[in-house]
Amino acid sequence: MNGQVEKKRQLIDDGLRSIWFPFTQMQEFSPEDVLVIAEGKGALLRDVDGRDYIDGVSSLWTNVHGHRKEQIDRAIKEQVDRVAHSTLLGLAHEPAIECAKKLLEIVPKGLTRVFYSESGSTAVEIALKMAFQYQKQAAGGNPGKTRFISFTNAYHGDTLGAVSVGGIDLFHAVYGELLFPTIKAESPYCYRCPFGASYPVCKFDCLRQLEYLLATHASELAALIIEPLVQGAAGILVQPPGYLKRIRELCTQYGVLMIADEVAVGFGKTGKMFACEQEGVTPDIMALGKGLSGGYLPLAATVATEEIYNGFLGRFDEFKTFFHGHTYTGNPLACAAAVANLNIFAEERVVEGLAGKIKRLTQGLQPIAKLGHVGEIRQRGFMVGIELVADKGTKELYPPGARIGNRVILEARKRGLIIRPLGDVIVLMPPLCITNEEIDRLCEITLESIQAVVGD
């Protein structure tokens, strides 16, 4: 053990101190507290001090089959032995071709073209640029349709276009002057309904507002962008049944393109391969990331309909080209990982096997829901948000400085579970490969950790 402690000490001296960590208030950050991960297997992670943890959030909602999945490990090693990098600028390679083919077999019917990038944020940027440019140059042309409608509580990534369509003040407000203005619709945060209504008696006041905005601004709107079924980063805000389907109908009715950002919800996390499937919806453009490569390598895709694609066709001197592409667009290693990932879904019938685990998770959450400071538990498939409140009756929040969510996850860590809070919402999003016994342990530790901080 001493040797391992020394190792951590040495890592701190060696450079851990010099990393500026993402989404982290560095003044309050202590290198001593950081967990340095050494290895993983399945739903488990091990730190350099040799302690094991359940990975309760799939390493940032991404390692869908867990860690060190043999087929993905092998696919990457084999691809390294062929070529690690090439480009899609004037060239192509087999992994990118195969990955696109396999992806198109499983995305909602009607999506036919795959544009690669490396992160969820870039997949969203591409979707926005595509929608904007399509409206300018599609047959007949809609040059006035240049704006976007997006939602309060939305999170689409950290690059400036993605931030412009975001709606979480804590992350986004500081960049206000840099952003392009969008039209904002209220998202269905039913626990704290912005219209003071309650579902299902409300008959969707939020959708009525959205329809009003669409009707008023139809002539200037290029697209609507939505996180389908669940707004993740705002605290796992689950949309009521029928909501997404109605959004699709309204977009069609008002001639506004629908962009579905499936970066967080895609690849089985809601219980189906894609969230849009849950309501039989085909968006015009879909953004994918995170689970696409099984969480192994940075890979994302923006998938579009043939109609969108056709809007970019023309002679070279008509300048309808989609002038976009990154150095690592469609990287072969990442595409090889993605092909293996998609094969696993098919061969191991992963999505088909989820229902039992989801039920187990729901059962495990029940005792947590009874705790005096758990305002609401929101669950859609493998995505869970446990909202902690100072007062269950009034739904009063804890003061931000109390850092209740953060304290809960530190308690969980002591007990062998890695999770992350979003404010005072405790998020659980285990890998799809998690076993029933691990699900039980995940729920038990979460319960004990909440009790340790806010009591029964």
**Residue of 63, 79, 119, 270 interacting with ligand PMP (CB under 6 A):** 119
Q: How far apart are CA 61 and CA 428, in angstroms?
A: 9
Q: How far apart are CA 277 and CA 231, in angstroms?
A: 16
**Number of Cβ atoms within 10 Å of the Cβ of 119:** 20
Of 290 and 360, which CB lies nearer to ligand PMP in the complex structure?
A: 290
CB of 241 to ligand PMP, least distance (A): 20
Q: Would strands 300-305 and 285-288 be described as parallel, antiparallel, or unpaired?
A: antiparallel
| 42 part of the interface to ligand PMP, by CB under 6 A | no
User: Binding string to ligand PMP for residues 302 to 341, with x set by CB under 6 A, is what?
Assistant: ----------------------------------------
**Residue of 95, 166, 271, 289 interacting with ligand PMP (CB under 6 A):** 289
DSSP string, 58-122: HHHHT-TT-BS-HHHHHHHHHHHTT-S---SSS---HHHHHHHHHHHHHSPTTEEEEEEESSHHH
Closest to 296 (Cα-Cα) out of 118, 456, 51: 118
| 210 part of the interface to ligand PMP, by CB under 6 A | no
CB of 313 to ligand PMP, least distance (A): 28
CB of 356 to ligand PMP, least distance (A): 26
Closest to 205 (Cα-Cα) out of 185, 224, 223: 185
Of 124 and 337, which CB lies nearer to ligand PMP in the complex structure?
A: 124
**Residue of 261, 387, 411, 438 interacting with ligand PMP (CB under 6 A):** 261
CB of 304 to ligand PMP, least distance (A): 17
* Piece of the chain touching ligand PMP by CB under 6 A; list 4-12, 125-133, 149-157, 405-413: 149-157
CB of 124 to ligand PMP, least distance (A): 6
| 221 part of the interface to ligand PMP, by CB under 6 A | no
The half-sphere exposure of 247 on its side-chain side, counting CA atoms within 13 A, is 32
User: Quick check: 407 and 453 in contact, CB under 8 A?
Assistant: yes
**Residue of 42, 120, 235, 431 interacting with ligand PMP (CB under 6 A):** 120
| 125 part of the interface to ligand PMP, by CB under 6 A | no
| 172 part of the interface to ligand PMP, by CB under 6 A | no
101 is in an annotated binding site: no
Contacts of 65 (CB under 8 A, 6+ apart): 72, 294, 295, 341, 344, 350, 431, 432, 433
Burial bucket for residue 188 (CB in 10 Å: 0-12, 13-18, 19+): buried
Number of residues that bind ligand PMP (CB under 6 A): 14
CB of 452 to ligand PMP, least distance (A): 28
| 58 part of the interface to ligand PMP, by CB under 6 A | no
Contacts of 47 (CB under 8 A, 6+ apart): 35, 36, 37, 38, 53
Q: How far apart are CA 77 and CA 328, in angstroms?
A: 18
* Piece of the chain touching ligand PMP by CB under 6 A; list 114-122, 336-344, 363-371, 405-413: 114-122
**Number of Cβ atoms within 10 Å of the Cβ of 84:** 12
Of 128 and 450, which CB lies nearer to ligand PMP in the complex structure?
A: 128
CB of 455 to ligand PMP, least distance (A): 31
| 292 part of the interface to ligand PMP, by CB under 6 A | no
| 155 part of the interface to ligand PMP, by CB under 6 A | yes
Of 60 and 80, which CB lies nearer to ligand PMP in the complex structure?
A: 60
Q: How far apart are CA 274 and CA 301, in angstroms?
A: 14
Per CB under 6 A, which of residues 225..244 are in contact with ligand PMP? 227, 232-233
CB of 247 to ligand PMP, least distance (A): 15
Per CB under 6 A, which of residues 176..205 are in contact with ligand PMP? none
Q: What is the CA radius of gyration of the chain?
A: 22
Q: How far apart are CA 445 and CA 255, in angstroms?
A: 48
Pair of tokens at residue 127: 């979707």
Angle between helices 436-454 and 404-414 (to 10 degrees): 130
Count of H-run helices and E-run strands, the chain: 14, 17
| 264 part of the interface to ligand PMP, by CB under 6 A | yes
Q: Is 222 helix (H, G, I), strand (E, B) or coil?
A: strand
Nearest residue to ligand PMP by CB is 120
Residues that bind ligand PMP (CB under 6 A): 119-121, 124, 155-157, 227, 232-233, 261, 263-264, 289
Known binding residues for substrate are 155, 290, 325, 420
Known binding residues for pyridoxal 5'-phosphate are 120-121, 261, 326-327
Known binding residues are 120-121, 155, 261, 290, 325-327, 420
